[in-house]
Amino acid sequence: MSLIVQKFGGTSVSNIDRIRKVALIIKQEIDNGNMSVVVVSAMSGVTNNLVSLAKQLGAFEGDEEYDAIVSSGEQITAGLVAQSLKELGIRSRSFTAWQLPIVTDDSFGKANIKSINTYALKEYVKNGGVPVITGFQGVCDGARVTTFGRGGSDMTAVAISAALGAEICDIYTDVSGVFTADPMIVPNAKIINSIDYTDMLEMSYSGAKVLQSRAVEYAINNDVIMRVKSSFINGEGSIIGHFETKSVVGLALSDNLERISVFFDNEDHFNKIVEFFNENMIKFDISVKTDSYMTIFVNKDELHNITESLQYSGLVRKIEYLTRMNNEPQLSKITIIGHKTPELVEQVELTLQSVNIKARNISQFRTKVIVWVESCCDKIALNAIHNFCIINGND
Ligand code: ADP
Ligand code: ASP
Ligand code: MG
C-alpha cells in the first residue's frame, strides 16, 4: 500500500463532468490499494479572472489583498472534488491550506513554505479518507493567506509529497506528459518518458509552464519523484527524477519580452537590484550593462509589477521603457536544452534562414543555446528548430 499525492490542474477540474472524471481517477488509486492525498488548482480561467479583478482595484502581486483574492478559486474546487468523491462512496473532505496549516513567510505572491503540519492529513488518511487540499497557498505568521506564484499548486503538491514521504507526486494535466516542446504549439513534439531534474528545471525556467519551476526546485531539494500525466487519456506519463542527459532534451519558449533600461547610481545598487530580482524570482535577461545603467528583457505581463517594485525599492534612478518608446517589436526567447554539438548554432541559423527568419541573437551555454527572434514569428521558428533538433535527430 503506497501513499500517493495526486494533483489536478485547472483544465482537469474545469466543470462538473471533469470533476467526476477526476474522482474516478482517484477511486482507481484507492481500488488499487493505495492511499491518496489530493491537491487541486482553481477551475480553468478562475484565477485569471480573479487576477484581473484584483488589478482593476490596484491590488498587484506583493499586496496582501492580492493573495486573499486570487487564492479563493482553489477552495471551490477542493469542496467540489471532495463532494464528488463522496458521491462515489469514498470518505473525503476538503482542507484549505490554513486549516492544516501550510505555514509560509510573508512574501505575498511568491511565498516560501516554512513548515507543513501533516497531523490532520495523516489521521484522515489512516482512517480511510481522501483529503483534498487547496493548492497554490499557505498562511503566514500574521494569519494572512499567502500564494506561491502562478502555477503554484504544483509547489503545494511537491511540498505535501515531501512532508508525507509520498511514493510519487502525480501531476495530472491536459497533456500526456512533458514533451520536447509545448505540444499546443509544436504538433509533432514527442513525449519524454523520463527527464532529469535539472533539465526539467531548465525547461520550466525557460517557459515550459507544464510544471512550475519553483515546484521542480522544491522536488530536487527534497528528492520528490514527480510524474506528469493526463487526466483526459490513459498513459504512462513522464517521470522527473535523476536520469542521464545524452543529447538535446527539448525546447522552451518565453514570449513577449520587452526591453527596459534601469539606471542606478553605483555598482552596489546594481548588485542589490540583481539580488532583488533573484529574491523575487523575477526572470530577466541582461543585454547591456554599464557603470550607470543596464538594459534588460522582461515579460510584458510582469512589466508593471517589476517597475513598481523597483521604483519602490529606492535602488533605481530612472527606468526607460525602450520597446514602448521606440515602438520596437517584442522579442521571444527559444531555449534549446540539453547537450549540444559544436555545429548546433550554425545549423540553427541555417534552419531559421530556410523559413525566412533572422535570429536577433544566439548565445551558447554549457547545456543550452538561447535563440532570440521577433515574437511575431516565434512559433514558426520554434517548429523549425524543433524539426531540426528533435524530429530529424540532429542532436
Ligand atoms: P494545469 O492547469 O494542469 O496546471 P498548465 O496550463 O499549467 O496546466 O500546464 C499544462 C500546459 O503546459 C499544456 O497545456 C501545454 O500547453 C504547456 N506546455 C508548455 N511546454 C510544455 C512541454 N514541454 N510539455 C508539455 N506541456 C507543455
Ligand atoms: N490557480 C493557480 C494559477 O492559475 C495555481 C495553479 O493553477 O497551479 O496560477
Ligand atoms: Mg500548471
d(CA 367, CA 205): 14
The confidence score (pLDDT) of residue 352 equals 97
318 pLDDT tier (thresholds 50, 70, 90): very high
Enclosing H/E stretch for 198? helix 197-205
Q: For residue 228, give the nearest of 3, 2, 12 by alpha carbon.
A: 12
Judge contact between 171 and 229, C-beta under 8 A: yes
Q: 39: which 3 cell numbers? A: 491537491
Residue 71 carries which DSSP code?
Answer: T
Mean pLDDT of the chain: 95
The pLDDT value given to residue 61: 86
Distance CA(69)–CA(139), nearest Å, equals 14
> What amino acid is encoded at 57 in this protein?
L
Q: In ligand 2, which atom is closest to the CA atom of 155? A: 8
168 to 4, 225, 226, 239, 278: CA distances (angstroms): 6, 5, 6, 10, 29
With a 6 Å cutoff on the Cβ, whether 47 touches ligand 1 is: no
Mean pLDDT of 30-52: 98
Q: How confident is the model at residue 394 (pLDDT cuts 50, 70, 90)?
A: low
Q: Decide whether any atom of ligand 1 lies within 6 Å of the 10 Cβ.
A: yes
Task: Please give the share of the chain, as a percent, with pLDDT higher than 70.
Answer: 99
Is pLDDT at 395 greater than 70 in this prediction? no
> Atom 9 (ligand 1): residue with closest C-alpha?
210
The pLDDT value recorded for residue 371 is 97
Strands in 98-242 per DSSP E: 102-104, 113-116, 130-134, 137-140, 145-147, 168-173, 194-196, 226-230, 238-241
Q: Determine if ligand 1 sits within 6 Å of the CB of residue 73.
A: no
Please give the distance, rounded to the nearest whole angstrom, from the Cα atom of residue 361 to the centre of ligand 3: 30
The helix (H) or strand (E) run that includes residue 92 is strand 92-95
All cell numbers assigned to 212:
512550475
Kindly tell me the burial class for residue 288, based on how many C-beta atoms sit within 10 Å of its own C-beta (0-12, 13-18, 19 or more).
exposed
Q: CA-CA distances (angstroms) from residue 258 to 183, 261, 283, 291?
A: 25, 10, 12, 22
The answer to whether 121 and 131 have CB atoms below 8 angstroms apart is yes
What does the pLDDT look like over 242-300, one tens digit per residue? 999 878 999 999 999 999 999 999 999 999 999 988 888 888 999 999 999 999 999 99
pLDDT at 232 over 60: yes
| High-pLDDT (> 90) share of the chain, % | 89
Number of H helices, E strands in the chain: 13, 19
CA 310 – ligand 1 centroid, Å: 30
| Cis previous bond, 101, omega within 30 | yes
3-state helix, strand and coil shares in percent for the chain, rounded to the nearest 5: 40, 25, 35
Number of other CB atoms surrounding residue 317 within 10 Å: 11
The pTM score is 0.95
Question: Which residue among 47, 137, 154, 211 has the greatest number of ligand 2 atoms within 8 angstroms of its CB, and so is best to mutate?
Answer: 47
Q: How many CB atoms lie within 10 A of CB 312?
A: 10
Q: What does the CA dihedral 348, 354, 355, 356 come to, rounded to 10 degrees? A: 100
CA distance 327 to 321: 10
